[in-house]
Structure 1
Amino acid sequence: MRVLIVEDEWLVAEDLEFEIQDAGHEVTGIARTMAEAVSEAEAVRPDVAVMDIRLAGGDSGVDVARKLKSEFDVRCIFASGTLSDQVEAIREFDPEPLALLSKPVHKRDLIKALDRAESSLSNDNAQAVVPGNAAAKPQTD
């Protein structure tokens, strides 16, 4: 799975990159601001983003996530030390976010969230491939 990291703290971003790669996923880039995140998403089309809430330059991770979802259909795993303040805003545009992780992010929680995201993507792709109710009614000869 291709993962974009949107995090303004360099050490945190580096740690996330290592953990994501160690779990067998590809990190497509690290963005610190909304402009960088949008540019990266447009260039590399990640499957999912790991999103901080408070970003460099005063950008809101919730606003970035909303933009990534609407423009590129990229859903987010949110990871923040101020998550509880933003849950309502997140659920306004994504009623079922892939994951809400508190910092510091524990490796096992991140891996579970990535597995859930990958499973969700697989289910979305399977539904997109099967037209109408074809899956519900198997054909017989």
Structure 2
Amino acid sequence: MDETTVAIVEDEVLIALDLQFPCEEAGCCVLGIATTAAGAQQKFSDVLPDVRITDMDLADSSDGVEVVEHMRILRPDVAFIFVTATTALGKLHRIAAARPDRVLKKPLRVEDLFDELL
């Protein structure tokens, strides 16, 4: 079985690491971490991960929906998991409109992430 590749888009370093370690423990190859939508486009456009984990609110006022929209152009079948603390209805509607495979709420339960990766 091929190793699942994961790209993480999260602007808070500690949370990004809290996502990276469980992914690796689940046997996934983490391709890297980006902190903005533009950074994710630059860093991951050529590697096309199997799963993209993204926060909604990113550095430089970009957001996870931008990440999803760009990646779906390159690879429509990529799985998306939003990990977010947002409760703003407008943002939640934007997330839902992006049709993610799963939305996980912060604070994240590692078990929920494992369920998605395994």
TM-score when normalising by structure 2: 0.87
Amino acid at match of 1:82: T
Q: Which residue of 2 aligns with 1:51?
A: 54
CA distance in 1, matches of 2:97, 2:38: 22
Q: Does the 8 Å contact 2:56/2:83 carry over to 1?
A: yes
| 2:92 partner letter | V
Residue in 1 aligned with 2:84? Answer: 80
1:113 aligns with 2:116: yes
1:91 maps to what in 2? 96
Partner of residue 16 from structure 1, selected from 13, 19, 23:
19
The alignment yields a C-alpha RMSD, in angstroms, of 1.5
Q: Structure 1 runs of 4+ off > 3 angstroms? A: none
The one of 4, 8, 15 equivalent to 2:7 is 4
**Alpha-carbon contact 1:83-1:100 (below 8 Å) kept:** no
Any gaps of 5 or more consecutive residues in structure 1? Answer: 116-141
> With CA pairs under 8 Å and 6+ residues apart, which has the higher RCO, 1 or 2?
2
Change (3 A) 1:90 1:108: same
Q: Which moved more, 1:8-17 or 1:60-69?
A: 60-69
Letter in 1 for 2:82: F
- CA shift at 1:83, angstroms? 5.3
Q: Whose radius of gyration is greater, 1 or 2?
A: 1
Residue equivalent to 1:133: none
Whether contact under 8 Å (1:33, 1:57) holds in the other structure is yes
CA distance in 1, matches of 2:79, 2:44: 11
1:111 is displaced (CA, Å) by 0.7
